[in-house]
Amino acid sequence: MSRKFIRIALMLIILGVFALTGCDADEGFEPNLDMEEILANAGPGPTETPAAPELPGSSAIPEYPIEIPPPPCSGGPPPEPEPIPEPTPEPTPTPEFRHVNIPILMYHTSSEYNPGALPELYVRPSEFERQMVWLIENGFTFVTFEDWDYLYRIKRPIMITFDDGYIENYTEIFPILQEHNVTIVLFLTWMAIAGHGFTEDMILAMHDSGLVVFEAHTMTHVDLRTVGTQRLRHEMAETNRLIEELTGRMPIALAYPGGRFNDAVLAMTAEYYRFGLRHDLGMHNTAFDNFQIRRIRINRSTGLDTFIRLVTQ
């Protein structure tokens, strides 16, 4: 029993040394190793004289707490390191929303020497290219309806639209778009695939280029004011279905054939689209009606000076 007293007293002394030398593991102290060395030097080890098991409550010696509380470290527990605050990225300043002018140019088709029966519809490819180059050199950004909600953040936005779906959109215009990285919106009348020689392969090639976004221009180019509700719905819903089936993208804008509409047409358009486009009235502003979006017509006879005046008015 007295040996056990000595061992407990030794442990208390050792623990006291811990307290004096510090208890921070960061200072390189290894208590288990030192404890074994000291006990080995102090006398027979525990393996030579194993203590007899004691029955609970039978011991006559004063009870010491079995679990000795850790010696107090001077200054208390080591202070928690100050959490390093995560650097918060500077928020990108968002310009305040404002309405903007957006010139939306309306073309139909293009031919250098063979203007067809409606010559004003056939802008010369060379003239179209001059116009696009002028826009690029003067800092305009080509946009589509996907960009509409952010137009106020875009430098000099402009939208180039083509109506109907003439084959020259592919043979004459598409190479110019690729050459100068110009994006356009093409309002497709579905019957143009049969009537004007446009093919599904051409549409897919243009769509896949990312330079042509296809929107709707009805199935048959009928004057929408003259048809009943059922036909009106068919002209919109079926065009959407076929364009989505072909390109994988549902149209969100409708160009009224001939620019003609009435209240019934406007109401039905709002069911299927976010935007409806007229043919006329010049410069559009985003504060105006989204279902009477104005356009600037560009004809074969439109010279570059007139073109510049129209897009900068």
Q: Which is nearer to Zn ion, 111 or 135 (CB)?
A: 111
Q: Which is nearer to Zn ion, 9 or 118 (CB)?
A: 118
Which of 127, 129, 163, 215 is the binder for Zn ion (CB under 5 A)?
A: 163
In the complex, the smallest distance separating the C-beta of residue 203 from Zn ion, rounded to whole angstroms, is 16
Among 73-81, 153-161, 163-171, 172-180, the segment contacting Zn ion (CB under 5 A): 163-171
Among 38-46, 158-166, 175-183, 205-213, the segment contacting Zn ion (CB under 5 A): 158-166
Q: Which is nearer to Zn ion, 163 or 168 (CB)?
A: 163
Among 28-36, 159-167, 222-230, 236-244, the segment contacting Zn ion (CB under 5 A): 159-167
Residue 149 to residue 296: CA distance in whole angstroms? 21
In the complex, the smallest distance separating the C-beta of residue 140 from Zn ion, rounded to whole angstroms, is 25
Q: Which is nearer to Zn ion, 129 or 164 (CB)?
A: 164
**Within 61-100, which residues bind Zn ion (CB under 5 A)?**
none
In the complex, the smallest distance separating the C-beta of residue 165 from Zn ion, rounded to whole angstroms, is 9
In the complex, the smallest distance separating the C-beta of residue 99 from Zn ion, rounded to whole angstroms, is 28
Q: Is 235 in the site for Zn ion (CB under 5 A)?
A: no
How crowded is the C-beta side of 106, counted as CA atoms within 13 Å?
Answer: 23
Cβ proximity of 128 and 107 under 8 Å: yes
The DSSP string of 121-176 is GEE-HHHHHHHHHHHHHTT-EE--GGGGGGGGGSSSEEEEEEEE--THIIIIIHHH
Among 77-85, 160-168, 240-248, 293-301, the segment contacting Zn ion (CB under 5 A): 160-168
**The tokens of 111 are what?**
């031919």
In the complex, the smallest distance separating the C-beta of residue 312 from Zn ion, rounded to whole angstroms, is 26
In the complex, the smallest distance separating the C-beta of residue 150 from Zn ion, rounded to whole angstroms, is 28
Residue 143 to residue 27: CA distance in whole angstroms? 65
Q: How many C-beta atoms lie closer than 10 Å to residue 215's C-beta?
A: 25
Q: Which is nearer to Zn ion, 140 or 272 (CB)?
A: 272
Among 30-38, 120-128, 131-139, 156-164, the segment contacting Zn ion (CB under 5 A): 156-164
In the complex, the smallest distance separating the C-beta of residue 208 from Zn ion, rounded to whole angstroms, is 24
In the complex, the smallest distance separating the C-beta of residue 85 from Zn ion, rounded to whole angstroms, is 60
Q: Which is nearer to Zn ion, 129 or 163 (CB)?
A: 163
Q: Is 164 in the site for Zn ion (CB under 5 A)?
A: yes
Q: Which is nearer to Zn ion, 107 or 140 (CB)?
A: 107
Residues near Zn ion (CB under 5 A) = 163-164
